[in-house]
Amino acid sequence: MPAHYGKRWFDLRRKFITYNPTCERCGKPATDVDHIKDVKHHPELMLSWGNLRSMCHSCHSKRTSNDQIHIDKTSPCDVNGYPTDPEHPWNVLKK
Contacts with Zn ion, residue ranges (CB under 5 A) = 23, 25-26, 28, 56, 59
Rounded Cα–Cα distance for residues 79 and 42 (Å)? 19
Rounded Cα–Cα distance for residues 2 and 54 (Å)? 18
Comparison of 25 and 88: residue with beta carbon closer to Zn ion: 25
Comparison of 24 and 88: residue with beta carbon closer to Zn ion: 24
Comparison of 46 and 59: residue with beta carbon closer to Zn ion: 59
Q: Which long-range contacts (CB under 8 A, 24 or more apart) does 37-43 make?
A: 38/67
CB of residue 13 to Zn ion, shortest distance in Å:
16
